[in-house]
A and B are shown apart, each in its own frame.
Chain A
Amino acid sequence: MPFFSFRPRFCLPTSLLVVFSLLLLPALRADNITADIDAANRAYTYGSYDEAAKLFRGIIAAQGYSAPLYFDLANAEARAGHPGQAMLNYERARYLAPTDADIDHNLQLARKQAGLEPNSYRWWQVMLRSINWTFWFVLIIVSLTLLLLALIASNWAKVFAQGLNMPEARLRKICKGVFFIFIPLSLVFAFVEVAVIGFGNRIEGVIVAPKEGTLRLSPFDSAEKIGTIPEGELVTVEDRHNDYLRVEARDHHFGWIQQKEIEPVVAGSFDVPPTN
């Protein structure tokens, strides 16, 4: 008896079943995610904040990052009495949704209750951080592509004019128009891009060490302590040496802090060279 025999009469139903199952998969997956979020929110509602935080962290690890998930996680951490983690996740939520007033409200409230000064974004910070980089990238690419096409068309205007069945002079006019519009536009895009990346994108971290992080004069365990930064405070990371990060506190004091005492707002940003 053959190991596998092809029977045409079962082919169609089997195929339909497979296709149907494949179509159902995303829906089943969505149901699972919804169930996870429900479970986390239920734990939160019933006061099991640590459990809720654990569930939200699991959802983020499995599904990816989103502002609402970070917001919910931060709420759970705040209620669980973990100000450092709460502030970290509020900052992450705000990073993803800089204009979300609810996130800023809860963040400022948590900061106030932790004895930290408010750090709401200013208008220009909101503007810089609201840039949708995907959209921005498309704009730049379209602009540069049009310029390139116009350059090619003007160089071989006769050929293109014949191909497009239009007078050569008209084609040249169109090319000139493209140059006139998109060269300044590209320069503006480039300027904004450099400005945003150069000045607006600081590598930030939140102190997550219990109670306070210790600032040292140099990046060594034996170095002198020059101060402390309270848990939950947002700092800017300037440099790195082994397991130590050089940070600037809000009062513009610099010092080295152990990496384990600080978490990056943008996960992975401590591993890339600073841009500021």
Chain B
Amino acid sequence: MKSTPAMIPQRPALRAIMHALVLTALVCFSSLSASAAATFTQKIDPPEITLGNTTTVTISIQGAEANDFQLPEVDGLNVISTGVNTSISLINGAFSTTASRTFEIGASHAGSYTIPAFDIGLQDGSTLHIKAMKLNVVPAASASSVPGLPAQNSPPSPPPNLAPYPVFNPNGPVVMPPKVPVGPTPPDASATTTPSEVNPPLEPDGRPAKVFIVIAPETTDAYVGESIPMRIDFYLRLDVAAQQDSLPTIKGSDFLINSLTGRYQEEQLEVANEPYIRDTWITAISAPKSGDFPLQMVRDTYWVKRVRVNFTPLSNFFMTQPTLEHEPISSNQLTIHVHSLPDEGRPAHFTGVIGQLKVTGTAQPLTVAVGEPVTLNFTITGSGNFDYIRCPVLAEDPAWKSYVPSSKIDYQDNTHTQGVKTFTQAVIPQKSGNLPLPQATFSYFDPSTKQYVTIPISLPGVTVTGSALATTASPAAPGDSEAANPASAAEFLPNRVTMGHLYSTLLPVYHQPWFWLTQGGLLLALALGLLVMFIASRRKKVDDSGERLQQQLSLKQEQEAMAKAVSDGNALNFFVAARHAIQLQLGAQWRVNPEALTLGEIRSRDASLAESLEPLFTQADEVIYSGGTGGRFDLAHWERHVRELLQPHLQTA
């Protein structure tokens, strides 16, 4: 969807607020502006025109508000349109308003004219005296005979990406050929225009219409089926702009039009000193039958309607009540003269192509065996109705069998009348030798010369090797099916007589949900297993570290018990603690119950260790069995011995 420029407030409330702010500002500075003396300027530009062109009279009043006024009537001069422009300026602290009124004037015949002097009444009761203005109108051979029509001289370049378009002329172009030359260049420099040259319908207040459509076909004389490039300009005054939700449509069913969807350009411009938004479509129409038909387009338009109470320079700010409404807006109406194509000289294979076209042809490969295809490529370029272009016709040649071509179109302009259409067609040689390819021709109707054109396409010869193909025969009798084969049946391999492996579906199993569910389920189970293992290992690690801490604590307690027993001289306690400390340490190392570690168990695991521990364990047994009364011991020596035994294990722990 297109967007309206951001500078335009779309909501009535916002517009009202803006108007109120401006009004407040004007009221605040009204004393300044009222106290200033009223001044005015007048001009006629240009003072000399060619018959058919227009000039503009501008009267600007500064520092005062004028009553409504018109130019005096002059015989031979017509006021085509009027416009109003109001500006507010702050100069050296003084706030002033300038209201300009423009009159676009055309003349009905050549000569010298004088617009007489006249007075303009101001709202404060004073009067401004406008001097007489002279206008010289010179005759021009090529000028339009319709008074007041826009000039067609020295137009500026058209907007980017859009082809230049003809002046909006209510009567349309009337000259049958010359036509547009081949190529994307403008048809004629004089056929271009600028926005200021657009002659919009006028409102009762003299301002240009809020919304209007101008259609400008390239020609109003055409042939049946001919594509006529056409420009559609939709103008919407900024003060009534709203987002549109429709496309222009053609009135009636006398014409076909190319699709408009997505092929338009929006821009902002001024028409008769009024800001407008213009949507432009470049398209093409064609008529399916001959005759004179009215051409008009209509667009269901969404716009802001507002009530205008009276004309004052400040009326824009006061008297508006915006309402959004739909209204179908019609364009200017033209009459298109559609001619039948001449019967005389019509080629046999003419398909209705009208335009100016070029065609080339190539063939690949140039050396083939009998029965192998040669690919022909035809390229048709230029301007015309591309929908009607068919593949160039190949002459009947028994040496070649041709097949249905494929085609492709690349359009080179928005009207789809300029483009490149390519055809690819296969032909198969039926015999060997140096064979010329079948003669190819392409026909179209050139509207500029009003003649049919048939272009012979030169194609290279092809070297064909191998033996000739068997020609197809008439329908065969039962039992001779090969001869009835429309293709060369002799080379087809025969039918199978068994069914082979049967499938209930051709869809591969990976389209079945169970295929993915089964694999996914297994992968999920694997992932879950890994997760469980990970959690278990973490938990075991925690358990192990707690157990190890407990063992270290116990070991420390036993060491303290040993030290206390040494200081107390209690042999029983010492040996009990010493043996338990050794058991604790080894139990932790071997991950077995410490109480279960006897000397025999230790010997089964580590004989050398058992040998070093044997004196301690034996002595401990003796002391325990004797109740600690077995004699005196050098407990300090034993303690050192035990600590030496424990030291490496403690370090390990």
Contact = CB atoms under 8 A, between A and B. Distances in A.
Interface of A: 33, 37, 41, 44-47, 59, 63-69, 71-72, 75, 78-79, 81, 92, 95-97, 102, 105-106, 109-110, 112-117, 133-134, 137, 140-141, 144-145, 147-148, 151-152, 154-155, 193, 197, 201, 211-212, 222-231, 233, 249, 251, 253, 266-269, 272
A230 B486 contact: no
Given A66-B502, A68-B498, A133-B508, A115 B404 contact: yes
A155 B522 contact: no
Contact of A45 (B405, B481, B493, B519): B481
A138 B270 CA distance: 76
Given A81-B486, A148-B526, A47 B511 contact: no
A270 to B, nearest CB: 11
B402 interface: yes
Given A144-B519, A253-B408, 9 more contacts: A47-B477, A65-B506, A66-B503, A79-B492, A115-B425, A115-B428, A148-B526, A155-B533, A222-B259
A134 to B, nearest CB: 7
B78 interface: no
Contact of B372 (A64, A75, A112, A137): A112
B68 to A, nearest CB: 51
Given A65-B503, A148-B526, A155-B536, A226 B408 contact: yes
Contacts of B507: 266-269, 272
23 contacts: A45-B479, A46-B478, A64-B502, A64-B503, A65-B503, A66-B499, A68-B500, A78-B492, A79-B485, A109-B487, A113-B488, A114-B403, A115-B402, A115-B428, A116-B373, A116-B403, A116-B426, A137-B515, A148-B522, A249-B406, A253-B408, A266-B508, A269-B507
Nearest to B503: A65
A96 B506 contact: yes
A51 to B, nearest CB: 12
B3 interface: no
B181 interface: no
Contact of B487 (A69, A110, A253): A110
Contact of A69 (B500, B504, B522): B500
Contacts of A113: 428, 487-488
Interface in B528-543: 529-530, 532-533, 536
Nearest to B411: A224
Given A145-B522, A197-B510, A266-B507, A78 B499 contact: no
Interface in B423-441: 424-428
Interface string B397-410: 00000111111110
A141 B503 contact: no
B526 A147 contact: yes
Interface string B249-289: 00000000011000000000000000000000000000000
Nearest to A224: B259
B347 interface: no
A41 B476 CA distance: 16
B496 A68 contact: yes
B371 interface: yes
A197 B526 CA distance: 23
A90 B5 CA distance: 59
Contacts of B523: 144
B492 A75 contact: yes
Interface string B535-564: 010000000000000000000000000000
B496 A151 contact: no
A45 B482 CA distance: 8
A201 B508 contact: yes
Count chain A CB atoms within 10 A of each CB in B416, B477, B511 and give the residue with the most: B511
A47 B533 CA distance: 71
Given A64-B504, A79-B484, A151 B526 contact: yes
Nearest to B506: A266
- Top 10 nearest A-B pairs (CB, nearest first) are A115-B403, A115-B426, A68-B496, A144-B522, A46-B478, A64-B502, A68-B500, A227-B408, A66-B500, A151-B529
Nearest to A111: B373
B596 interface: no
A47 B492 contact: no
A130 B373 CA distance: 30
Contacts, number: 177
A204 to B, nearest CB: 12
B426 A272 contact: no
A47 B478 contact: yes
Contacts of A59: 499
B506 A151 contact: no
Interface of B: 258-259, 371-373, 375, 387, 402-409, 416, 424-428, 475-481, 484-489, 491-511, 515, 518-519, 522-523, 525-526, 529-530, 532-533, 536
Count chain B CB atoms within 10 A of each CB in A71, A79, A251 and give the residue with the most: A79
A66 B499 CA distance: 6
A133 to B, nearest CB: 5
B500 A67 contact: yes
A144 B373 contact: no
A47 B486 CA distance: 11
Contacts of B519: 140-141, 144
Given A65-B506, A92-B506, A226-B408, A112 B371 contact: yes
Contact of A144 (B479, B499, B526): B526
B464 to A, nearest CB: 14
Given A141-B518, A148-B526, A272-B511, A230 B496 contact: no
A257 to B, nearest CB: 12
A47 B373 contact: no
Contacts of A229: 406
A110 B484 CA distance: 15
A69 B529 CA distance: 48
Contacts of B405: 228, 230
A201 to B, nearest CB: 7
A229 B405 CA distance: 8
A267 B503 CA distance: 12
Contact of A226 (B409, B477, B481, B495): B409
Nearest to A268: B507
Contacts of A251: 424
A105 B493 contact: yes
Contact of A47 (B387, B481, B491): B481
A110 B375 CA distance: 16
B526 A212 contact: no
B139 to A, nearest CB: 49
Contacts of A95: 506
A68 B503 CA distance: 12
Contacts of B529: 148, 151-152, 155
Contacts of A68: 496, 498-500
B526 A133 contact: no
Contacts of B407: 227-228
A109 B502 contact: no
Nearest to A233: B406
A67 B506 CA distance: 11
Contacts of A115: 373, 402-404, 425-428
Given A41-B495, A115-B373, A224 B416 contact: yes
A96 B503 contact: yes
B247 to A, nearest CB: 12
A79 B385 CA distance: 39
A152 B499 CA distance: 46
Contacts of B501: 66-67
Nearest to A249: B406
Nearest to A214: B407
Contacts of A225: 387, 409
Contacts of B479: 45-46
Contacts of B491: 109
B73 to A, nearest CB: 54
A46 B493 contact: no
A116 B406 CA distance: 10
Contacts of A33: 499
A218 B496 CA distance: 43
Contact of A227 (B409, B485, B500): B409
